[in-house]
Structures are given as C-alpha cells and as structure tokens.
Copies of this chain bind each other. A is one copy, B any other.
Amino acid sequence: MEIAGYRLDIEAAVATVKQQGYKTVAVQVPEGLKHSIVPLVEYLEKQTGARILLSADPCFGACDVVNYELRNMDVECVIHLGHTPMAAVENFWMPTIFVNAFSTADASPVVEKAIPVLVGTRVGVVTTAQHLHTLDTVEALLQKHGLEPLRAEGDERVSSQGQILGCNFSAGTSIADKVDCFLFIGSGMFHPVGLAMSTRKQVIAADPYTNTVKKKEIEEMGDALLRQRYGAITVSRSAQRFGILIGSKRGQQRITLAYELKQMLDEAHKHSVLMVMDEFSPVFLQGFREIDCYVSTACPRIAIDDYLQYKKPILTPIELEIVLGRREWESYVFDEISP
C-alpha cells in the first residue's frame, strides 16, 4: 500500500502474520510516517484479525527494534517499518518483519541535474533505504552520459548494495579508492557529509524530494563540523570525570568498546563512569553534574547531530583517543558502527 509518498509491501507482512497465526502484533514506525499511519494499522487489523499494538516511541533505524519490553504483552511478532534489516544485529526476542518504505519520488530529474557537477568519470552511487529501488535507473542515467557508476556491497550492517546509514558508510569506503566522486541520492546533510568525511572524496547530493543538488554546501558543512569537533576535543582535554555512554538499543550496543575506553581513561588517570541509556536525551543527562565530559559509544549521530543540545561536551570514541593523545588530529575519522 502507499502512504505519505511511500510504497510499503505491507501485503507480504499480512501474509506472514496470517500464515503464522500471530494474534498480537507490534508495529514500529519511523517519525516521518507517524502522521499517516492509522490507515495502515486499520488495514493490518482488518486483514489479519490480529490485535495491533502501534509503538509510539521514536525509532530512527533498524538498530532500534522494539522487542524485550513487549515480552509481557503477548506480542508474537514485530513489523518494523521504514528500515532494512541489519544482519549484524541478531537474537531478537521475537520474529521481526522488516518492511521498507520506498519513496515514490522520481530520482531521474534531480540526477540529470546533478550530472554536470559530478567530478571525474567514476561515480560511486550511494543512497538510503527509501531510494534503494532507484539505483538501477540512476546508474543507467549515468552510463547514458558516459559516466562509470560503481556500486558496492556494504558490510553486514547494511542490507543492499549502495546503501549507507548514518552510522555506516561501508558501501562507500570500500570503493573510495576506485571512484572520483560519490553521488548520494537522498535528503538531509548527515549522510553525504559523513560519507565525505569517511572517504575524503567529494560527495554530490541529489535530493529527489526537493529536486535540489548540493556539492559546495556539503564541503562547507564538513569543514564547519570539523571545526566544531576540534572545539569539543579542545575543551575536553581538561575534563577529569568522563561519562562513557552505552546505548541499550539492540543495534547500538558497543559494550566492548565502552570497556576499552574505560581502560584507556584509567590508564590516563581520568575518572570515568559507564552509563547505559536507552533514549538519549540532554535533559536526563543534565542531572549528572559531576560528569565533565561524555563519550558516546551509542549511535554516532548523538555526538555529532545533537552536540549543541548538550551542556557538556560529548565526544565520539575516536575523538577521545585524540583527547588522550592516542591519535593525531590529522587522522580524524567519523565514528561508524561496524557489524
């Protein structure tokens, strides 16, 4: 069915629910689909006869599958909308059906617009889940213009060739030395800026929703971000007590990394506290007045995107290495979560 400009193969999920005879099913929905979700819930109810529990908590990725908390509610299955499965994240409490939301926006016009500003001839093609189905068309267009598109497999955290996540650019980094530039299909600045910083290649972003192409803005934002991160690193050098943040969401748990960071801080004679959090919130960290600086091992976007909302500096693990003198600023890279 189609909702809010997205095509979702909810019919396949209905078939599975009926076949398995599930009586209570949870549905998880990304923020962008919340405003139009009721018809889908009612459709599921009618078609399956199952009781549908709509999860209202925020959900920003397949790293965040609602699961254990539903254990006492007789929920037998989760339908997770809008993200592709992460093979690397396993051991769910109950079966999870991933239903991607494919944008109905036509990518061709904006790709045509982007072609003149591409750099060189070998173009790495990347996108997010909702435009994955457009990549064949995008590549054909590039080829028509005499360009050589390249699309790579990512690691186990991504589901398809050419797919990048806010926390994982492996489908880009793996071909960085084979391409002249990257063409990113999608909206928002985080993915293209992150990709540029991870690959040190120029990234041109083509947004099928707004029909706009961005190139210079990405470089500028990358530069601004680096300055901000440099500032965060600088102010953190005097911190004495660190909070090491561990995300409890299934696909954001980097507990071994957190232990390694604690070890590093111990060796540098800095105090540290391991802190677990589900929903990261500046408000609820504010209470910990004794902590001078946070290091986040959870979603890399927390330190980068939400930096200004926090009253204390919040670093990525890589940035902590720089603070502690274990890495040079020159080898700064974006934090990513590997499988």
Does B41 contact A287, Cβ atoms closer than 8 Å?
no
Does A72 contact B290, Cβ atoms closer than 8 Å?
no
Most buried by B among A26, A35, A248, A277: A248
Instruction: Check if A34 is an interface residue, CB within 8 A of chain B.
Output: yes
- Among the stretches A51-59, A146-154, A222-230, A313-321, the one at the interface with B is A51-59
- Which residues in B have their C-beta under 8 angstroms from that of A55? 275-277
Does A69 contact B273, Cβ atoms closer than 8 Å?
no
CA distance A67 to B70 in the complex (A): 12
Instruction: Check if A239 is an interface residue, CB within 8 A of chain B.
Output: no
Instruction: Check if A19 is an interface residue, CB within 8 A of chain B.
Output: no
Instruction: Check if A38 is an interface residue, CB within 8 A of chain B.
Output: yes
CA distance A288 to B248 in the complex (A): 25
Does B284 contact A54, Cβ atoms closer than 8 Å?
no
Q: Restricting to A130-170, which residues have a CB under 8 Å from any CB of B? A: none
Q: How far does the Cβ of A45 sit from chain B's closest Cβ, in whole Å?
A: 9
What is the predominant secondary structure among interface residues of chain A facing chain B? mixed
Instruction: Check if A274 is an interface residue, CB within 8 A of chain B.
Output: yes
- Which residues in B have their C-beta under 8 angstroms from that of A38? 241, 271, 273, 288, 290-291
Residue of B nearest to A28 (CB): B276
Copies in the complex: 2
- Which residues in B have their C-beta under 8 angstroms from that of A58? 281, 284
Does A70 contact B34, Cβ atoms closer than 8 Å?
no
Q: How far does the Cβ of A54 sit from chain B's closest Cβ, in whole Å?
A: 5
- Which residues in B have their C-beta under 8 angstroms from that of A269? none
CA distance A107 to B35 in the complex (A): 51
Q: How far does the Cβ of A260 sit from chain B's closest Cβ, in whole Å?
A: 13
Most buried by B among A69, A278, A285: A69
Q: How far does the Cβ of A195 sit from chain B's closest Cβ, in whole Å?
A: 28
Does A72 contact B56, Cβ atoms closer than 8 Å?
no
Residue of B nearest to A278 (CB): B57
Q: How far does the Cβ of A229 sit from chain B's closest Cβ, in whole Å?
A: 23
Does B37 contact A250, Cβ atoms closer than 8 Å?
no
Instruction: Check if A245 is an interface residue, CB within 8 A of chain B.
Output: yes
Instruction: Check if A73 is an interface residue, CB within 8 A of chain B.
Output: yes
CA distance A250 to B332 in the complex (A): 42
Does B53 contact A276, Cβ atoms closer than 8 Å?
yes
Does A73 contact B255, Cβ atoms closer than 8 Å?
yes
With contact pairs A69-B248, A287-B34 given, residues A57 and B279 touching in the complex (Cβ less than 8 Å): yes
Does B290 contact A70, Cβ atoms closer than 8 Å?
no
Does A273 contact B54, Cβ atoms closer than 8 Å?
yes
CA distance A276 to B288 in the complex (A): 29
Residue of B nearest to A35 (CB): B289
Does A253 contact B72, Cβ atoms closer than 8 Å?
yes
Q: Which 8 A-B pairs have the closest CB atoms?
A: A34-B287, A68-B68, A69-B248, A38-B290, A56-B277, A35-B289, A56-B275, A54-B275
